[in-house]
């Protein structure tokens, strides 16, 4: 099939020569003997490495859902880890909140380019308890708490000024303690599969996949 495009050829567009962008990965590979048998504990170790390296937003992850057959991705921040999964918080009435509420499949990816590492997980998402959501909400700065009230996440809004007015209204409404909105709380991604990726020379990367079987995990190496 001919390569037909109505737009510019970005492979050769001055300084943005995408086809020639190349970075060889030279970091230490994955020694399977050093991996923890629990992938969530291994996830903790890699996040700790990212924190120690002082990377920007080391807990950022791209969460993918499927809504009426349409895949959608967005970046959120992991805010907790439990024995069975990883937590993040959002508006239940948002686009992702509605998709997660259907209990469909969900995927999340952590990327640490400076460390030449990536973790991908696939599983399902479940709401955390109200007590857990309340506890996390208490930790948020007051401005972020007010923002959870002011923003009708994913819904159309007439202007930025409307958002600012709503924020000011809730600022006046609440005193020192801002309660958690009933439409806002946490989800826990419970993985059935996790893959750890480490960049290696010659594009012969290391890929280790964990699969969940009841109370145990199996582990295999994948070809890059």
- pLDDT tens column, 96-105: 988 888 877 8
Contact 33, 23 (CB under 8 A): no
SS3 category, 177: coil
Q: What is the mean pLDDT of residues 4-26?
A: 67
Measured torsion, CA atoms of residues 190, 38, 200, 46, in degrees rounded to the nearest 10? 80
Strands 117-127 and 85-91 come out as unpaired
pLDDT at 86: 98
Residues 6+ apart with CB under 8 A from 178: 142, 145, 146, 149, 170
End-to-end CA distance of the chain: 27
The mean predicted confidence, pLDDT, of the chain is 91
Computed on alpha carbons and rounded to an integer, the radius of gyration of the chain in Å comes to: 21
Residue with tokens 């959608």: 72
Pick the range with the lowest mean pLDDT from 8-12, 122-126, 217-221: 8-12
**CB contact at 8 A, 76 and 88:** yes
What is the predicted pLDDT for the residue at 5?
A: 47
The pLDDT tens digits of the residues spanning 160-205 come to 999 999 999 999 999 889 999 999 999 999 999 999 999 998 888 9
| Residue 203: active-site member | yes
Looking at the chain, the whole-number percentage of residues with pLDDT higher than 90 is: 73
- C-alpha angle 66/70/75, rounded to 5°? 60
pLDDT of 8? 53
Residue 109 — very low, low, confident or very high, per pLDDT cuts 50/70/90?
very high
3-class DSSP assignment, residue 131 = helix
Name the phi and psi angles at 47, rounded to 5. -65, -40
Set 48, 173, 203, 221: catalytic member: 203
Q: What is the DSSP string of 27-93?
A: S----GGGS-SSHHHHHHHHHHHHHHTT-SSTTEEEEEEEETTEEEEEEEE--EEETTEEEEEEETT
CATH number for the domain running over 24-140+182-222? 2.30.110.10
Percent of the chain predicted with pLDDT > 70: 93
| CA dist., res. 222 & res. 112, Å (int) | 20
Q: Is the pLDDT of residue 4 over 90?
A: no
What integer is the mean pLDDT of 34-41? 96
Q: Does position 14 have pLDDT exceeding 60, yes or no? A: no
Domains in the chain: boundaries: 24-140+182-222
């Amino acid at each position: 099939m001919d390569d037909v495009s109505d737009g510019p050829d970005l492979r050769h567009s001055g300084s943005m020569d995408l086809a020639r962008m190349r970075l060889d990965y030279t970091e230490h590979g994955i020694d399977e003997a050093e991996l923890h048998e629990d992938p969530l504990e291994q996830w903790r170790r890699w996040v700790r490495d990212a924190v120690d390296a002082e990377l920007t937003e080391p807990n950022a992850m791209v969460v993918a859902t499927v809504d009426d057959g349409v895949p959608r991705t967005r970046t959120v921040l992991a805010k907790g880890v439990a024995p069975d999964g990883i937590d993040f918080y959002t508006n239940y009435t948002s686009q992702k909140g509605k998709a997660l509420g259907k209990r469909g499949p969900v995927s999340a990816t952590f990327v640490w380019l400076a460390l030449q590492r990536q973790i991908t997980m696939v599983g399902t998402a479940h709401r955390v308890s109200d007590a857990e959501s309340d506890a996390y909400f208490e930790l948020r700065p007051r401005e972020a708490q007010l923002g959870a009230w002011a923003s009708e996440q994913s819904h159309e809004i007439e202007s930025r000024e409307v958002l600012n007015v709503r924020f000011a209204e809730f600022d006046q409404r609440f005193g020192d303690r801002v309660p958690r909105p009933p439409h806002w709380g946490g989800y826990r991604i419970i993985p059935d599969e996790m893959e750890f990726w480490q960049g290696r020379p010659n594009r012969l990367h290391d890929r280790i996949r964990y699969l969940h079987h009841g109370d145990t995990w199996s582990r295999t190496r994948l070809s890059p």
